[in-house]
Amino acid sequence: MASQELAKASTRYKRNYDKKTKHRSFNVGDSVLLLLPSDTNKLVSQWRGPYKVVQKSGSLDYSIDVNGKIKMFHANLLKRYINREAEDKSMTTECKGIDDGGLVDVVCSAVIVEHDAQLDPETQEGHINQNMESKDVGHLELTPTEVEETYQNVEVNQNLTWAQTEKVKRILYNFKDVLTDRPGHTQLVAHSIKLTSDEPLRVKQYPIPHAMKEVVQEEIDKMLQMKIIERSDSPYSAPIVIVKKKDGGNRFCIDYRQLNKLTVFDAEPMPSMDAIVTHLAQDHFFSKLDLSKGYWQVAVEENCKHLTAFATPSGLFQFNVMPFGLVNAPATFNRMMRILLKGLRHVDCYLDDILGPYSNLGTTLKRT
């Protein structure tokens, strides 16, 4: 019985491991990278190469020419190396097209943009130049900031077939102008702050360690560049707090607790998680969208900006957009999402998370 249970466990482990596996195949003459221990630390592996494949042994083993010596390695330790010519300014990309009749190969030529764009070594795509205005954005005004995530960072379920995955990728490519980490600016609502007292509220600035002052200045410069904040001469002032994140980074926070005590509460009802889960019970396919810096896409009313002022070692600033930490910020954001998604019966949302549940993939792709 113990042997039978062990066999069942091994089968289960293999099935779970194989869910994310991908088939790797190389031909003789291909250039590959090899996963080997580093020279400085044998416990740390790194990709080294490129090396040439000289022989294929079986379906998973390959003989590699490593500095004049022929050695055999498993396919799991190999990764295809694509040689890209740095001098070649024109590139062509082979795209996979989808039509109703099946799969069609479409050859597309890359566009050469005469701007200084730093190419990504993996994708050969340049970062968006902030001086260029996108003509595809339409009514969505994007915040000027460096793009770190694009449509290529969207996670697609690996259990889909190749054809299904290609259809999803084509949809993502068609909407690449909005699938970015650059926050936009909505015109649907604006955040308003109503206080129970007109007396200006000033909270003493908290001491900031000298080592943190550079971090604070970097955050200030970044938000000024993105036009999230502006300099202020407001009589109001809230202190800032630097909080350590789990990944070791720092989070720039503002303590609005005293301002929240004087704020008239907004009774906008929040979504019910139980109701959303019940709605999802009969569905099998889901499209999840997470808005990029959702609060920063909502503007603060002009006559309320001075209430968001906060003090830093480099001066007083106030927000142009809705900051985190305000007591009514979730209510304003939820109201905006209700207006935005009004009439879409098959879409649920919880704050900045939008979820589209569907019974089949065809409906998912059509409505997404």
Lowest mean pLDDT among 192-196, 199-203, 345-349: 345-349
pLDDT digits (tens, 9 = 90+) for 303-328: 999 999 999 999 999 999 999 899 99
**Does residue 107 fall inside a structural domain?**
no
Cis bond leading into 323, ω under 30°? no
Distance CA 263, CA 193 (A): 7
pLDDT digits (tens, 9 = 90+) for 67-82: 888 888 888 888 888 7
**Does residue 205 fall inside a structural domain?**
yes
- What range defines the domain where residue 174 resides? 148-180
Residues 292 and 253 in one domain: yes
The pLDDT of residue 261 is above 50: yes
Distance CA 200, CA 236 (A): 5
> Can you tell me the mean pLDDT for 254-272?
90
> Do 191 and 300 contact (CB within 8 A), yes or no?
yes
**Does residue 113 fall inside a structural domain?**
no
CA 291 remoteness from chain centre: 9
Q: What is the pLDDT of residue 66?
A: 87
pLDDT digits (tens, 9 = 90+) for 275-286: 777 777 666 667
| DSSP category for residue 119 | B
Q: What is the pLDDT of residue 268?
A: 87
Among 162, 180, 198, the domain-final residue is: 180
**Does residue 247 fall inside a structural domain?**
yes
pLDDT top residue among 250 and 317: 317
Q: What is the pLDDT of residue 79?
A: 85
Among 42, 58, 82, the domain-final residue is: 82
Average pLDDT, the chain: 76
Residues 158 and 252 in one domain: no
The pLDDT of residue 159 is above 70: yes
pLDDT top residue among 151 and 121: 151
Residues 63 and 190 in one domain: no
**Does residue 277 fall inside a structural domain?**
yes
Share of the chain above pLDDT 70, in %: 74
Distance CA 176, CA 152 (A): 9
pLDDT top residue among 344 and 364: 344
CA 144 remoteness from chain centre: 16
- What are residue 153's phi and psi, to 5 degrees? -90, 0
Q: What is the pLDDT of residue 233?
A: 93
Domain of residue 69, CATH code: 2.30.30.10
Q: What is the pLDDT of residue 359?
A: 53
- In 106-135, which positions are buried (b, 16+ CB within 10 angstroms) versus exposed (e)? eeeeeeeeeeeeeeeeeeeeeebeeeeeee
pLDDT top residue among 95 and 247: 247
Among 82, 107, 122, the domain-final residue is: 82
Helix (H) or strand (E) holding 281: none
Q: Which of 71-80, 176-185, 339-348 has the highest mean pLDDT?
A: 71-80
The residues with which 230 forms a beta bridge, in sequence order, are 318
**Does residue 121 fall inside a structural domain?**
no
Residues 198 and 218 in one domain: yes
Residues 223 and 77 in one domain: no
Residues 66 and 189 in one domain: no
Distance CA 148, CA 222 (A): 14
The residues with which 241 forms a beta bridge, in sequence order, are 253
Residues 300 and 171 in one domain: no
Residues 163 and 211 in one domain: no
**Does residue 243 fall inside a structural domain?**
yes
Domain of residue 246, CATH code: 3.10.10.10
| DSSP category for residue 110 | P
Q: Which of 22-26, 81-85, 118-122 has the highest mean pLDDT?
A: 22-26
In terms of phi and psi (left: phi > 0; alpha: psi -120 to 50; beta: otherwise), the region of 336 is: alpha
Residues 197 and 157 in one domain: no
Q: How many residues does the structure list for the chain? A: 368
Distance CA 297, CA 191 (A): 11
Residues 159 and 40 in one domain: no
Lowest mean pLDDT among 1-5, 19-23, 303-307: 19-23
Q: How many structural domains does the chain have?
A: 3
Q: What is the pLDDT of residue 101?
A: 43
Residues 332 and 257 in one domain: yes
pLDDT band at residue 111 under the 50/70/90 scheme:
very low
Closest CA to 215 of 250, 181, 167: 250
pLDDT digits (tens, 9 = 90+) for 199-244: 999 999 898 888 888 889 998 998 898 889 999 999 999 999 888 8
Closest CA to 188 of 298, 64, 327: 298
CA end-to-end distance (rounded Å), the chain: 50
Residues 225 and 276 in one domain: yes
**Does residue 18 fall inside a structural domain?**
no
Distance CA 206, CA 240 (A): 7
